[in-house]
Amino acid sequence: MKVILSGLGGSIHLTMKLQITFAAVLVCFAMLFVSGAPRTNFEPQGAFETRCGWFSNPTPANIWLYDREGEWTIGVQGGYQTPGDWPWPKFKPGQWVVTNAGDHGYGCACLQVRVNKRTNDVLEIKSARGRPLAQCRRDASLKKWSKMLS
């Protein structure tokens, strides 16, 4: 089947095969521009939410929050770090367990955070507060993390 298009320079003959190829190329270009760039960790991921669980700082610059939904990365030495200055939970005496040199260890805490649920990175920390260790120890959803911290 041939299609004749009239234009400024006369007639152009296009076969159906050429039309399909042309249409496919246009669709590919459209998909390229519509898909956009991948999301980064620094794009807003929704509202702040309160997450409570084990706050772990076993060694310098390594910090995680373990809650009922999983492991949330706050910082990894030489890798991802939650940007900016953020509040560290204030732990009362007996609420922080030292497990390593210095004051490195873990405690029970609640943090008001914005997270990336795809990468489990903490993007922003608005507030943080220490809780009694017993609250995390009694929480059945945190039992799996308790064993890892000891």
Question: Domain of 102?
Answer: 49-149
The answer to whether position 55 is within a domain reads yes
Residues 71 and 142 in one domain: yes
At 45-59, the pLDDT tens digits run: 579 999 999 999 999
128 close to 89: Cβ distance less than 8 angstroms: yes
Query: What are the beta bridge partners of residue 115?
Result: 122
In degrees rounded to 5, what are phi and psi of residue 10? 115, -145
Amino acid of residue 64:
W
* 131 plus 94 within the same structural domain: yes
pLDDT at 20 over 70: no
Q: Are the C-beta atoms of residues 79 and 136 closer than 8 Å to each other?
A: no
Q: Are residues 16 and 76 in the same domain?
A: no
pLDDT tops 70 at residue 31: no
Q: Is the pLDDT of residue 85 over 80?
A: yes
Q: pLDDT category, 119, cuts 50, 70, 90?
A: very high
Question: Secondary structure of the chain: what % helix, strand, coil (to 5)?
Answer: 25, 40, 35
Considering the domain boundaries, does residue 83 fall inside one?
yes
User: What is the tens place of the pLDDT at every residue in 99-108?
Assistant: 998 899 999 9
85 lies in the same domain as 120: yes
Claim to verify: residue 59 and residue 20 sit in the same structural domain: no
What would you measure as the largest C-alpha separation in the chain, in angstroms? 89
118 lies in a domain?
yes
Q: Is residue 143 situated within a structural domain?
A: yes
| Predicted local distance difference test score (pLDDT) of residue 17 | 65
- Number of domains making up the chain: 2
Domain shared by 125 and 78, yes or no: yes
Do both 23 and 54 map to the same domain? Answer: no
pLDDT at 21: 58
Instruction: Give the least confident one: 21-35, 85-99, 127-141.
Output: 21-35
Q: Decide if pLDDT at 3 tops 60.
A: no
pLDDT reported for residue 46: 77
Give residue for tokens 């009922």.
Answer: 68
Question: Quick one: 25 and 73 in the same domain?
Answer: no
| Pair 73, 123 in one domain | yes
